[in-house]
Amino acid sequence: MTELAPLDPDPADHGDLEQLGINVIRGLAMDAPRAANSGHPGTAMALAPLAHTLFTRVMRHDPSEPHWPDRDRFVLSNGHASILLYSMLYLTGYGLTLDDLRSFRRWGSRTPGHPELNHTPGVEVTTGPLGQGVANGVGMGIAERWLRTRFSPEVCDHHTYVIAGDGCFEEGISHEAASLAGHLQLGRLVYIYDDNHITIDGPTELSYSDDVGGRFSAYGWNVDDIGEVANDVDALEAALLRARADEDHPSLIILRSHIGYPSPHLTDTAKAHGDPFSEDEIRLTKELLGLPPDESFWVPDDVLDLYRRCIPRGQDFRAEWARRFAGWNGDKDRWDAAQGGHGLPGWESALPTFAPGDGPIATRQAIKKCLDATGGLIPGVMPGSADLTGNTGMAMADAEPQSFESPGGDLIHYGIREHGMGGVMTGMAAHRGVLPVGGTFFVFSDYMRGAVRVAALSDVHVIYSWTHDSVGLGQDGPTHQPIEQLAAVRAMPNLRVIRPADANETAQAWRVAVDEDGPTALILSRQALPVLAQTADLATTGVSRGAYVLAEVGDGAPQVVLIGTGSEVHVCVDAAVLLEATGVGSRVVSFPSWELFAEQDDEYRAEVFPAGVPRLAVEAASSFGWERYADATVCIDHFGASAPGEHNLEEFGFTPEHVATRATTLIAHSPGS
């Protein structure tokens, strides 16, 4: 790996120019929040020397090509300090302009209040909810090590740098992710703890007295407490290079900074954290910094020229990587598929199909059969689970667990760390090169929800295998039985939710989850379900359209539509047979995905749900939201009970007899009956 060359080949007065550049960053950190009348200037001011050092002395990055695969990754976990990142992206040449900084936090700008992936060039992950970036960085570290091992250091050989603050390390997700990183002995992870002793409420001592260094040492991290050197770029560079050299442990650099420095009245105050400085305070601070006190967004040409030298240097790094990649004799097709997060061409032909005689089979078991059959054709797939690997179908055949000893292992044991798992998966997907698939019980998706929301907001390609999806899981009782979770995850924008009815629908759900970008949640059963006679033929196109006509039972036009999802579809089929015996014709619709159905045109949706025919939805979960599709429901609007699963379902009305009775009542009370 080529070492970094200095930005200025003639360093005679380089230090003075560097210091001016750092002061310019501090000026921008004050000006943008002042212009927006909103924002967080203090942390950005304190960390200007650190950001300068990272972007100009340490990181290998190419501003002219932000998506170069072998770039170093940078994560600003304390995303409220976004103006620091935006200033660096502008100065080093990522395509932002001074007008973008002037539009900070305004409608339509490329500089929103917190960094957003896919919105601003150079932003690697969406950060804002504190601690998420800590977990994202761990995921990036896993992805980098795995790609380097599976493919070659010739094509993957970089580091991940994360800045995090007190808030990040107070949030529980950071504990989960840091513990996992230490256990896996993830080298090439360099975290800088901005130890500024300030939160919005006031000094951290109000609520926080952790020995952060001791905690991370106990996790297995290399900890370097460098103290009061926040303004010493040489000391910062030396610490970063020491940490970068550790291949066997993640590293934490503890940096004592002073928020708002060098403001004469607001340094080391909570006021510097979350409020723009007054015009008077900005003027006084700029005078101390040697900046024009009455000029906003001042960037002199020599400072901009200094930072823009990152572009040709980065292009040299990228060109070197391109030469290595061109000479690499590895499997480029597999590399490309892994980078895209998809399968090799034709991978779906390996999907298993199931006949009625193959059942009953739980959909959580069906997903394992899909993984086993196709995993070798999806080069980047990395299943894992929060201590429920076998329970959630993530125990892919012949998969080796990921570990320090086996860095190419493609099965991740996340441990009992659901939230951390979610954040790590987001980082893996944002890094690219891997397709993370993570499993836990559906009720514990609540523990993951913060990370899932960020994944949906970021549109990253992750797959969640959420199993034990109803009261049918049985005797573990209501603490483990999801009721409101389906409505909750369906309410989340940009999350594709699929609840398959049987093994064939599960296979097609897996195909959709792999082929389509963005996050997908598979909602799978614990209990065994029959393989329906129609799904081998109809599910191939039906699942991808979200809902489809599974069966027409009886003569003539249907008098009622029975809508089922997941484990309740076969109940609807059996109820339709009972209705036919009484002379009532019905249509059974399998409705695995509201999101996919919403993407269909009006004509198709009218074909599935003919006008004037009453609809009864049957789902072992909350009825919330079904009013948009159904006239009545057989659902659960209370918590579950501890009993064998079949007994629970019977008691709560998920039987063919009860569904047929409810359908008959619905018909009788429908207009025109």
Cβ-proximal residues to 63 (8 Å cutoff; 6+ apart), any chain:
89, 92, 93, 94, 95, 122, 310, 311, 314
pLDDT band of residue 563 (cuts 50, 70, 90) is: very high
The mean per-residue pLDDT over the stretch 279-303 comes to 98
Q: How many CB atoms lie within 10 A of CB 9?
A: 8
Tell whether the model's pLDDT for residue 4 goes beyond 70.
no
Find the farthest-apart pair of alpha carbons in the chain and give their distance in angstroms, rounded: 96
Q: Which two tokens stand for residue 358?
A: 């193959």
Residues 61 and 168 in one domain: yes
Distance CA 508, CA 525 (A): 16
How many Å is the Cα radius of gyration of the chain?
28
DSSP string, 396-447: -TTPPBP-SS-TT--BEE--S-HHHHHHHHHHHHHH-S-EEEEEEEGGGHHH
Q: Which long-range contacts (CB under 8 A, 24 or more apart) does 604-609 make?
A: 604/545, 607/549, 608/547, 608/548, 608/549, 609/561
* pLDDT at residue number 2: 44
Percentage of residues of the chain with pLDDT beyond 70: 98
Which run of H or E residues covers position 88? helix 82-92
pLDDT band of residue 12 (cuts 50, 70, 90) is: very low
Tell whether the model's pLDDT for residue 297 goes beyond 70.
yes
Distance CA 635, CA 407 (A): 46
pLDDT tens digits along 423-450: 999 999 999 999 999 999 999 999 999 9
Residues 364 and 502 in one domain: yes
The mean per-residue pLDDT over the stretch 282-291 comes to 98
Nearest to 138 by CA among 125, 153, 123, 155: 125
* pLDDT at residue number 671: 86
CATH at 410: 3.40.50.970
Residues 514 and 556 in one domain: no
Task: Say whether 516 is catalytic.
Answer: no
Q: Which two tokens stand for residue 377?
A: 């054709």
Distance CA 663, CA 653 (A): 13
Residues 167 and 135 in one domain: yes
Query: Are 484 and 529 in contact, with CB atoms under 8 Å apart?
Result: no
* pLDDT at residue number 7: 54
Q: Establish if 180 belongs to a structural domain.
A: yes
Q: Establish if 620 belongs to a structural domain.
A: yes
Q: In what order do the strands lie in the sheet with 615-618?
A: 548-553, 586-590, 560-564, 615-618, 632-634
The mean per-residue pLDDT over the stretch 529-539 comes to 98
The mean per-residue pLDDT over the stretch 53-79 comes to 98
Q: Establish if 12 belongs to a structural domain.
A: no
* pLDDT at residue number 95: 98
Q: Establish if 29 belongs to a structural domain.
A: no
* pLDDT at residue number 359: 86
Considering the entire predicted model, what is its pTM?
Answer: 0.97
pLDDT tens digits along 74-85: 999 999 999 999
Tell whether the model's pLDDT for residue 672 goes beyond 90.
no
According to DSSP H, which parts of 459-568 are helical? 485-490, 503-515, 535-542
Annotated catalytic residue: which of 116, 124, 418, 619? 418
Looking at this protein, which amino acid is placed at residue 445?
Answer: S
Tell whether the model's pLDDT for residue 329 goes beyond 50.
yes
Tell whether the model's pLDDT for residue 6 goes beyond 80.
no
Distance CA 585, CA 556 (A): 7
Residues 226 and 361 in one domain: no
* pLDDT at residue number 1: 46
**Final residue before a domain boundary, out of 257, 276, 306:** 257
* pLDDT at residue number 14: 62
Q: Establish if 606 belongs to a structural domain.
A: yes
Percentage of residues of the chain with pLDDT beyond 90: 97
Residues 498 and 552 in one domain: no
Strand partners of residue 198: 203
Domain with 632, as residue range(s), is 544-668
**Final residue before a domain boundary, out of 213, 240, 257:** 257
Q: Establish if 11 belongs to a structural domain.
A: no
**Final residue before a domain boundary, out of 232, 257, 282:** 257
Residues 449 and 557 in one domain: no
Token pair 């015009």 in the structure block, residue: 279
Task: Share the mean pLDDT of the chain.
Answer: 97
Cβ-proximal residues to 239 (8 Å cutoff; 6+ apart), any chain:
224, 226, 229, 253, 255
Tell whether the model's pLDDT for residue 99 goes beyond 90.
yes
Tell whether the model's pLDDT for residue 256 goes beyond 90.
yes
* pLDDT at residue number 15: 78
Q: Establish if 318 belongs to a structural domain.
A: no
Tell whether the model's pLDDT for residue 280 goes beyond 70.
yes
pLDDT tens digits along 101-114: 999 999 999 999 99
Residues 518 and 556 in one domain: no
The mean per-residue pLDDT over the stretch 342-348 comes to 98
Residues 511 and 646 in one domain: no
Residues 229 and 118 in one domain: yes
pLDDT tens digits along 568-626: 999 999 999 999 999 999 999 999 999 999 999 999 999 999 999 999 999 999 999 99
Q: Into how many domains does the chain fold?
A: 3
* pLDDT at residue number 673: 65
The mean per-residue pLDDT over the stretch 182-210 comes to 97
Q: Which two tokens stand for residue 106?
A: 């305004």
Which run of H or E residues covers position 587? strand 586-590
pLDDT tens digits along 481-507: 999 999 999 999 999 999 999 999 999
Residues 484 and 569 in one domain: no
pLDDT band of residue 10 (cuts 50, 70, 90) is: very low
Note if the bond before 262 is cis, omega within 30 degrees. Answer: yes
CATH at 625: 3.40.50.920
Distance CA 548, CA 515 (A): 20
Looking at this protein, which amino acid is placed at residue 462?
Answer: V
Nearest to 167 by CA among 147, 195, 139: 195
Residues 587 and 515 in one domain: no
Distance CA 293, CA 274 (A): 22
Q: Establish if 564 belongs to a structural domain.
A: yes
Query: Are 89 and 122 in contact, with CB atoms under 8 Å apart?
Result: yes
